[in-house]
Structures are given as structure tokens and as C-alpha cells.
Amino acid sequence: MNNLFSLKNEVAVVTGALGKLGSIWIEALLDAGASVFALDLEGAKVSDEFSKLQARFDEARLKLAHTDVRDRQSLEDVCSQCIASFGTPGILVNNAGIDRPPANSGKGYRLEDIPFEENREIFEVNTLGLFLVAQVFGSRMAEAGRGSIINIGSLYAGVSPDEHFYDHIQGFLKPPAYGASKAAVVNLTRYLSTHWAPHGVRVNTLSPGGVLGGQDEEFKRKFCDRVPMGRMATAEDLHGPLLFLASPASVYVTGTELLVDGGFTAW
């Protein structure tokens, strides 16, 4: 049974590797036996969590390369680097994305004043960039006749943000484009899954609920009161669902959205 979840000798690619969730996915993949080719923007700050993984695993198992998910040629280049270093990837975690959390929001906008460019950037990275990454790496998987693509969605792909969670933060409005872009990812997942299923490539969405990570106490109180399980997700809560979708344990699962939200959407 343990072999069902083993990723020994697998090659995995993770975009947005230096962001909040990147190291969560990378740690799970490495601990299950995979080698990980990690991608993020040139100049992106290396997170403490990623540094710890670098200390645990040498470059024979974990490498970092730089790319922009909106740049096809750059993606082609890092795909070639991945194949040269580890071999053709069998797992892709499409994690790169833009959110606008309160801590980083600066001056907020009223709904009617949100700039067009703000929405454009979110869709370019969260949806169009994700598709571009899938084109580049997924096509190699299809040629190889096997693979699992895991697109990272969000709780807000299926429900609208409850602005009461944020009303104690003056001037903050959760960007409407964020949830819309993630909803598009869920539908795009279905499209890709049907296209590549005959070629042995599975495509699914993993949509976390609120993940604990530096939020203010008032937000956490409001959010947890709304979750049937009474808490936010931790890194450990996300490891198992990712491994399920990445491994042979889900060999007959494709085109689906796996919600890991503590029951939030059950109400």
C-alpha cells in the first residue's frame, strides 16, 4: 500500500517555489522520494522554508531555476534544463500565482476603482501563465505517455470571499480577479484532463482553504469561526492531498477539484 504513494525516481516541477505554498509542495514531494526542479522569478527572495529544504537535500534532488510563467521561451529553456538535470518530469505542480493579502496591499481600492492593470496581472499569472506552463511541460509528459499535473486552485474558486473577514482592515478589499482567475483554473483543468487523458497524463486541481501563515488574530478568529473543523489549514494538512494526486494512488482520478478546506464549502 505504501508503494501507491511513493514518488521514488520521479521528477517533479514546482512553479512559484519561493512563495507561501511552494515549500509545502516541495517538501512533500522530496520526502516521498521525488527529485524537484523548482521555478520562480529572477530576483525572488529565497524563503526561509526553501533554504531549510536546500540544507536537507543537495542539488542531486533539489534545484532552483528562474523563469517567468508568462514567457514561453524562458519556460522552454528551463524545461530543457530540467530534462538535462533530472530527466523528463512526470509531475507538475502549477503553483505560481498572485494574491493580494492585507499585509502587502498598501492603499486599497473601492470595487469601482480597481485598475484594469491590477486585474490583468492577476489573470496573466494565475490563469494564462498556468496554461503556458502546462503547454510546455504537459506536452513533454504527453510525449512520454505519463504524468500528473496538479493545478493549485483556491477555496475562492468556488465561493466569493466573505468581506466580513477583512472589514477590520481599513481600506482592504479582497481582489475580485483572484477568485475569478482560480475559477478559470478549475475549468481549464477539466479541459486539459480530457485532452491529455488518451496520452496518459492526468490533470487535477488542488484547492486549499485558508492556510495558516502570519494572518492577524482578528482575521483568524473570524475565519476559523466559519470553518466546521474550527481552524485554518497547516502545511501538514496539504501534504497528503498533494501526494494522493501526484502518485499512483490516484491513477484513475483526472479532471477533478480536490477541496482541502476543513469543510468551509459544506455550509
- The strand order across the sheet containing 257-260 reads 62-66, 35-40, 11-14, 91-94, 147-152, 201-208, 257-260
Name residue, grid cell 483554473: 185
pLDDT of res. 127: 98
Residue type at position 57 = F
CA dihedral 137, 142, 145, 150 (to 10 degrees): 50
pLDDT of res. 104: 53
CATH 3.90.700.10 is right for the domain spanning 2-266: no
pLDDT of res. 113: 87
Q: How many residues does the chain have?
A: 267
Are 136 and 189 contacting, i.e. CB atoms less than 8 angstroms apart?
Answer: no
pLDDT of res. 259: 98
* Nearest-angstrom CA–CA distance, 48 and 16: 15
Could you state, in order of their start, the residue ranges of all structural domains in the chain? 2-266
pLDDT of res. 256: 98
Instruction: Give per-10-residue mean pLDDT for the chain (267 aa).
Output: 90 97 98 98 95 95 98 98 98 95 65 90 97 98 98 96 89 88 98 98 97 93 97 97 98 98 95
